[in-house]
Chain A
Amino acid sequence: MTALFAPAPEKVTFWRNQLRMGGQLTNPLADLATTAANLRTVSLETAPVLLGRLTATGADMRTAFTQPTNNCPTFNQSTGAFADGNCFTGATVAGSSTATNMGNNVPEGQQAGVLTNPGFHAQYYSNFGFRRQRLIQEVFACSRLPAEIASTPQIINSAVYSAPWPLKSITSNAAPPTYPAPRRVIGGTLNSQLYVDFNVEQGCYNCHVTLNHRAPLFMAFDAVGFMNNAGLSMVHSTVTGSPFTLPQDYYPTTETTAWKYKVPASTIQEFGQAMAADPQTAKCFMIRLWNEAYSRDDVVNDLALVPDSVIAPMTQYFMNNNYNMKLAIAKIYTDANFIRF
């Protein structure tokens, strides 16, 4: 049983393990050539510290997705004290050096809690930026992909299509993209019309209709979590030549980014507000807290599920108390069921 009840260090450790982040990471900067001179280091501590601070201070946990400033606090492990910190360090690609903490390049006031955290984007950098979306879904919505299920699934030839989005809402052979020539690659350009076919009959659609409507919002963050402020993508497509992605790699030009079907989000801040308003994220906070208190495994990776009949009262208490996780911790650790062992 973890002593999550009282000390701040335990709350930071809790979030380190939930986010699987800690220490620091060194990766190539922006779309520059992969050379030693272009490597930069980013802290993987600020995201767990941000969430640990919100937890320890009894703040509204919805601000984990909506807080516009002061999103990279620091934590003194010895004293248990938190200190304010900005993710926007003012560094630029041209003027940076290897010693510079690049920050996220998102001006204070335009940030969105952990969703613009540079460490988070660096740790989960990947092709198309899909790994970031998988983590957002698994850590904050507590379910694996596919994330959205229609009330009535469709049979497409031999495949089951279970998502609510309409067909042809993401890039596939049924809705092929066109590209301007040339496309950006590291160190130059590439003339190519190749694209990834997110094919419905091969089962890609079920997960990717959600992923492809989320990932483009974050594609400007590079491998150290530094955002290109011109909106240029810093993640790669997997087609030959590995060009940087464009919106049409994800969906047709008629589509827009969204948290879920019929929950559009044109900016990261809107995306964070949609997450904050989703009861699934509130329930997920409680499921993760419940599993920690009862020394259980991870709800997604290890299928340590907590059924609605068990977690609903805690979720209701959490929401009724302004999403105060500190109060929820006290309630779980003093619950009659908890002390009955």
Chain B
Amino acid sequence: MKAVLRMIGVASLIGSAACLPSFDQPAAQNTVENPATPVTSPTQATGDNGVVSPLTPSQQTAIWMQGGDPTLLADRAYDEGPIGIASQKHSCAKMKFNTIGRLLTGRGVAITAGDSPATLPVTATTVCPAQSGANTQSTSFVYCTSQLTLGIPQYTARLSESTSVTSGTGTKMMDLYATAATEIEQKLVGNAFPAAATGCLDPKTGAQALMFNPNNSCNEAGVTCLQGYPATADQVALCSRIVTQAQASGTAASPISAVTAGRRLAIATILAGTQLCE
């Protein structure tokens, strides 16, 4: 997210220098131009730096009251651009732990299967489902047992839920969406989301959204449902391309065809690409 913000900040600064001169504001600084004209004012040449002096106590106070520690503000302005502009732009926080659960539930995933109590929200006192075998686990297992990594708030430590996607959180969210993709693909009914997927009603048809067409290309309604906003033709085409370019996998005892692997990979890619905020 910081990389994105940095890009936005750089773009804003470049834009302001190039074509929007009134767009930018001076960033916080730890020196200010000397308001008093020197008694023997030197003649300044064009391009010379302005006369600066250390901050007076009243100037320090003014800067603090305007927004806090000036060095932190300067660092933030460097990353995000002027505060008057940055504060009016949408950021992209980590999806809340409870929201992840509701999102997957709305896409037909049994997110609390095996948990006790079997209702959202999953909390620190929830009894998670037992591990089944040594390999792939259920989505509910991954979601419930990964609650700390996924960022469940630690109120006992007087901390609110993190708004940042750390490396660990991002990796675990990808694990979760990859696991959920298999379950979503397996539960499709005639390539459409099942009735349990309450977030996937296609408003155009009034029926459950179709994830894949009969030829296994992606359907716009299904992609829209997974990502939560209207899918573009390019996104649908990219989804279809993933389906067609996958390879068969699995074991001899339980093989996974290339098409099935592609369908699962497409669903996982859409979820991770649109819900991870990176």
Which residues of A are at the interface with B, using a C-beta cutoff of 8 A? 1-3, 13, 16-18, 20-23, 25, 44, 77-78, 123-124, 144, 149, 152-153, 155, 160, 162, 290, 294-298, 302-307, 309-310, 337-338, 341
Indicate if the CB atoms of B87 and A22 lie closer than 8 Å.
no
- Closest residue of B by beta carbon distance from A155: B57
Tell me how far the C-beta of A19 lies from the nearest C-beta in chain B, rounded to whole angstroms: 8
Given the known interface contacts A295-B163, A337-B88, the answer about A2 and B65 at a Cβ–Cβ threshold of 8 Å is no
Of the listed stretches B44-52, B132-140, B152-160, B252-260, chain A binds B152-160
Cα distance A160–B90 when bound, in Å?
A: 38
- For residue A13, which residues in chain B have a CB less than 8 angstroms away from its CB? 96, 98
Given the known interface contacts A149-B65, A155-B57, A295-B93, the answer about A303 and B72 at a Cβ–Cβ threshold of 8 Å is yes
Tell me how far the C-beta of A280 lies from the nearest C-beta in chain B, rounded to whole angstroms: 12
Cα distance A152–B153 when bound, in Å?
A: 42
Report, as a range, how many residues of chain B touch the other chain: 35 or more
Indicate if the CB atoms of B68 and A25 lie closer than 8 Å.
no
Count A/B pairs, Cβ under 8 Å: 92
Indicate if the CB atoms of B121 and A294 lie closer than 8 Å.
no
Cα distance A296–B68 when bound, in Å?
A: 17
- Selected from B61, B87, B124, B160, the residue in CB contact (under 8 A) with A310 is B87
Indicate if the CB atoms of A153 and B58 lie closer than 8 Å.
yes
Indicate if the CB atoms of A303 and B67 lie closer than 8 Å.
yes
- For residue A1, which residues in chain B have a CB less than 8 angstroms away from its CB? 90
Indicate if the CB atoms of B159 and A20 lie closer than 8 Å.
yes
Cα distance A297–B90 when bound, in Å?
A: 11
6 further contact pairs, Cβ within 8 A, besides A20-B155, A149-B61, A303-B68: A1-B90, A44-B155, A290-B87, A298-B163, A305-B73, A307-B84
**Residues 60-94 of chain B, each 1 if its beta carbon lies under 8 Å from chain A, else 0:** 11001101110011001000000110011111110
- For residue A302, which residues in chain B have a CB less than 8 angstroms away from its CB? 163
Indicate if the CB atoms of B58 and A307 lie closer than 8 Å.
no
Indicate if the CB atoms of A297 and B96 lie closer than 8 Å.
no
Report 23 cross-chain contacts, Cβ distance below 8 Å, ordered by A residue.
A17-B161, A18-B160, A20-B158, A20-B159, A22-B153, A23-B124, A23-B155, A149-B64, A153-B61, A160-B60, A162-B61, A290-B87, A294-B88, A294-B89, A295-B91, A295-B93, A295-B163, A296-B91, A297-B163, A304-B87, A305-B73, A305-B87, A307-B67
Cα distance A309–B161 when bound, in Å?
A: 28
**Residues 29-45 of chain B, each 1 if its beta carbon lies under 8 Å from chain A, else 0:** 00000000000000000
Tell me how far the C-beta of A304 lies from the nearest C-beta in chain B, rounded to whole angstroms: 8
Cα distance A13–B155 when bound, in Å?
A: 12
- For residue B88, which residues in chain A have a CB less than 8 angstroms away from its CB? 294, 310, 337
Which residues of B are at the interface with A, using a C-beta cutoff of 8 A? 57-58, 60-61, 64-65, 67-69, 72-73, 76, 83-84, 87-93, 96, 98-99, 119, 121, 123-124, 153, 155-156, 158-161, 163
- For residue B163, which residues in chain A have a CB less than 8 angstroms away from its CB? 295-298, 302
Cα distance A162–B61 when bound, in Å?
A: 7
Given the known interface contacts A17-B160, A307-B84, the answer about A22 and B90 at a Cβ–Cβ threshold of 8 Å is no
Indicate if the CB atoms of A309 and B84 lie closer than 8 Å.
yes
- For residue B158, which residues in chain A have a CB less than 8 angstroms away from its CB? 20, 123-124
- For residue A78, which residues in chain B have a CB less than 8 angstroms away from its CB? 119
Cα distance A20–B162 when bound, in Å?
A: 11
Cα distance A142–B129 when bound, in Å?
A: 41
Indicate if the CB atoms of B83 and A307 lie closer than 8 Å.
yes
- Closest residue of A by beta carbon distance from B124: A23
- For residue A310, which residues in chain B have a CB less than 8 angstroms away from its CB? 84, 87-88
- Closest residue of A by beta carbon distance from B120: A77
Cα distance A307–B77 when bound, in Å?
A: 13
Indicate if the CB atoms of B87 and A306 lie closer than 8 Å.
yes
- For residue B123, which residues in chain A have a CB less than 8 angstroms away from its CB? 23
Indicate if the CB atoms of B87 and A144 lie closer than 8 Å.
no
Indicate if the CB atoms of A294 and B90 lie closer than 8 Å.
yes
Tell me how far the C-beta of A284 lies from the nearest C-beta in chain B, rounded to whole angstroms: 14
Cα distance A153–B56 when bound, in Å?
A: 10
Cα distance A13–B152 when bound, in Å?
A: 12
Tell me how far the C-beta of A227 lies from the nearest C-beta in chain B, rounded to whole angstroms: 21
Indicate if the CB atoms of B68 and A144 lie closer than 8 Å.
yes
Cα distance A187–B160 when bound, in Å?
A: 36
- Closest residue of A by beta carbon distance from B62: A149
- For residue A16, which residues in chain B have a CB less than 8 angstroms away from its CB? 153, 155, 160
Tell me how far the C-beta of B27 lies from the nearest C-beta in chain A, rounded to whole angstroms: 13
- For residue A309, which residues in chain B have a CB less than 8 angstroms away from its CB? 84
Indicate if the CB atoms of A305 and B89 lie closer than 8 Å.
no
Tell me how far the C-beta of B262 lies from the nearest C-beta in chain A, rounded to whole angstroms: 31
Indicate if the CB atoms of B84 and A152 lie closer than 8 Å.
no
Indicate if the CB atoms of B61 and A296 lie closer than 8 Å.
no
Given the known interface contacts A20-B158, A23-B156, A149-B65, the answer about A160 and B87 at a Cβ–Cβ threshold of 8 Å is no
